[in-house]
Structure 1
Amino acid sequence: MNARLRFPALLFALPLAACSSLLNVQRTPFTIYSPKLAAPADAVAARVDWQLAVETPLASDALDTVRIVVMPSPGVIEVYPGARWSDSAPALLRNLIVQGFENSRRITGVGSSASGLRADYALGIALHDFQLEMGGGAHAVVRLQARLLDYTTNRVLAAQAFSVEAPARGSDAAAAFAAFEAALNQLVPQLVDWSLRAGEAAHVANKG
């Protein structure tokens, strides 16, 4: 009888003890990194009069994270414990691509697929690699497959693979971030230029 009376009291005591222990846990500080695109050169190429929706890249669970991924050896995936991206890698890449199109000043309208933009075309991306690799010297690696689609029918109009590597001056998180920023500043303008050329070719063919 007494055991039954005491048992609920123990149940109430356990959550209180758990809360107390959680309050005493020391939080590990971390640094948030947010890559920026370099200021573009003055636009010299012709503008296009269509609009583009940039979809959030598809990625594996290992890459779809705010953690900065490092590969010390082939097939081995780790993360920097004291570092985070400002957003998940796919969302981060999507936002930089949108910014790259805006910076080019060559397109009438561009935005994410969730922006409500009345787009003519969509840019779909499969993100294959987004990590710092140590083999042969530390270097940031970004690899993806891009597809330009008709926004209404979802038909693939063009596809292109992109692969960029940038050396890192060290193996710490700060050096990794600088290498990633350099790689993205190479890749995004290439992707923007290809998308505009492929989209314009499809647009002209559709008019004809």
Structure 2
Amino acid sequence: MQVELGNGLKSRAPGAARAALCLVLAFTLSACSGGVLGGLVGTGNNPTPTYDLTAPTNFGSLPRRARGLLAIEQPTALQILDTEKVVIAPNPGEVAYLSDAQWVDRLPKLMQARIVQSFENSTRIRAVAKTQDRVNADYLLVVDIRQFGIQAYESPLAVVELSVKIVYQRGGRIAAGTVLTSRVAAGGTSGQPATLALDQAFSDVLVQMVKWTSRRI
């Protein structure tokens, strides 16, 4: 059950969802900025504004080109994040959905596409693909979405936190792991400013991810 909170928010009612809320203060939201795609999806007089995430193109100084083939798995996430809906935390321990914004696709699927594009843009990996492409990769990049959304109960803040592991394709041994985090001040908690801040935070994490991975494969 969801309850309208006003100001573009839909609250997830307590009960079965309470366990998820306690496990996650993982907020989900996404961004509309510069090259970010924005549009309207829906029927009737009030279509829902739809936002995309962007892949960075500027990575600063990078190590030499890696020789291995890297496959990107679709990121994992708890159910509250595995959606095209945009999530916000209006109060500590509370998770809500924005009613005036949605993603172009489920967040894990969208994130996988932008991770692949980021590595392609960096030109520092010999080849990169999705695991669904069934390539014979040397390494797998495994990502878990820990936080992705707006913390709105103080000054609005976009928070992105991803757990990242490099796994050898042969044998499945973990080669390296880290947690990448970015926090960006948001200009508001409605769809456009909230998604703008999240896109900026996500882009920062993607730059960190490309640099960290390139030095280890």
2:74 to 56, 59, 63: 56
Q: Once structures 1 and 2 are overlaid, which stretch shifts more, 124-133 or 36-45?
A: 36-45
**Maintained 8 Å contact 1:66/1:88:** yes
1:174 to 188, 192, 217: 192
One-letter amino acid matched to 2:175: L
Cα displacement (A) at 1:136: 2.6
For 1:38-76, what per-residue CA distance to the aligned partner results, in whole angstroms no more than 9, with x for missing partners? 432577531011100111111000001000101001111
Question: Any stretches of 5+ residues in structure 1 without a counterpart?
Answer: 1-24, 200-208
One-letter amino acid matched to 1:126: D
One-letter amino acid matched to 2:121: N
One-letter amino acid matched to 2:85: R
Return the alpha-carbon distance in structure 2 between the equivalents of residues 152 and 108 of structure 1.
Answer: 18
**Maintained 8 Å contact 1:120/1:151:** yes
2:114 to 85, 96, 100: 96
CA distance change for structure 1 residues 121 and 100 in 2, over 3 Å: closer, same or farther? same
- TM-score, reference length from structure 2: 0.76
After TM superposition, the structure 1 = structure 2 runs for residues 147-186 of structure 1, keeping only pairs within 5 Å, are 147-186=165-204
For the aligned residues, what is the CA RMSD?
A: 1.7
Query: Is 2:96 the counterpart of 1:78?
Result: yes
For 1:9-28, what per-residue CA distance to the aligned partner results, in whole angstroms no more than 9, with x for missing partners? xxxxxxxxxxxxxxxx9574
Flag the structure with higher helix content: 1
Q: Number of aligned pairs? A: 175
Query: Is 2:117 the counterpart of 1:114?
Result: no
CA distance change for structure 1 residues 44 and 63 in 2, over 3 Å: closer, same or farther? closer
Identity of matched residues, %: 29
- TM-score, reference length from structure 1: 0.79
Return the alpha-carbon distance in structure 2 between the equivalents of residues 26 and 99 of structure 1.
Answer: 34
1:143 to 144, 161, 164: 161
Structure 1 SS opposite 2:112:
helix
Structure 2 SS opposite 1:198:
coil
One-letter amino acid matched to 1:102: E
**Equivalent residue number for residue 8 of structure 1:** none
One-letter amino acid matched to 1:174: Q
Q: Once structures 1 and 2 are overlaid, which stretch shifts more, 141-150 or 32-41?
A: 32-41
**Equivalent residue number for residue 32 of structure 1:** 50
One-letter amino acid matched to 1:160: T
Return the alpha-carbon distance in structure 1 between the equivalents of residues 167 and 93 of structure 2.
Answer: 32
Question: Any stretches of 5+ residues in structure 2 without a counterpart?
Answer: 1-42
Return the alpha-carbon distance in structure 1 between the equivalents of residues 138 and 111 of structure 2.
Answer: 21
**Maintained 8 Å contact 1:43/1:106:** no
Higher alpha-carbon Rg: 1
Return the alpha-carbon distance in structure 2 between the equivalents of residues 91 and 78 of structure 1.
Answer: 21
For 1:118-171, what per-residue CA distance to the aligned partner results, in whole angstroms no more than 9, with x for missing partners? 210000111111111113311111111111001121111111011111111111
Return the alpha-carbon distance in structure 2 between the equivalents of residues 49 and 78 of structure 1.
Answer: 43
